Amino acid sequence: MGVKENTNAFIKNGDIEAIENIELPALDILTELNRNFDYIHLFTKNKAGFKECFPKLKLYLKPSGMLWVSWLKGGKLRTDLTMKTVIKLGYDFGLG
């Protein structure tokens, strides 16, 4: 994923198991959006959750930072997200 050790990070809606499965390096994970971050990771189940959280999270992303989005793959829990949808929504909200 390209995330470096000790990077300042914010994780939204990620449960412990999901975060551990990503196998990130040791991070400085903060629990409040009170500064700009190098790495932000949004866990969401659907477009509505994406659209609700993404614009706010984007405001706290450093210009050189990464904003990752994870969702349930393969239509689990009836998600309306796909890779194409997430990329399009990201572009729609000004990331590219």
Residue 14: exposure state from Cβ atoms within 10 A (0-12, 13-18, ≥19)? middle
**pLDDT of residue 75 exceeding 70:** no
The answer to the question of residue 1 being in a domain is: no
DSSP state of 74: T
d(CA 27, CA 82): 28
pLDDT band at 70 (very low <50, low <70, confident <90, very high): very high
The pLDDT, as a whole number, for residue 15 is 85
- pTM of the entire structure? 0.89
**pLDDT for 20 beyond 80:** yes
Give the total number of structural domains in the chain: 1
Using CA atoms, how far apart are residues 35 and 29, in angstroms rounded to an integer?
12
- Domain assignment present for 49: yes
Secondary structure class of 19 (helix, strand, coil): helix
Q: Does 3 fall in a domain?
A: no
Let me know if residue 52 belongs to a domain.
yes
pLDDT tens across 30-54, in order? Answer: 999 999 999 999 999 999 999 999 9
Domain that holds residue 37: 8-92
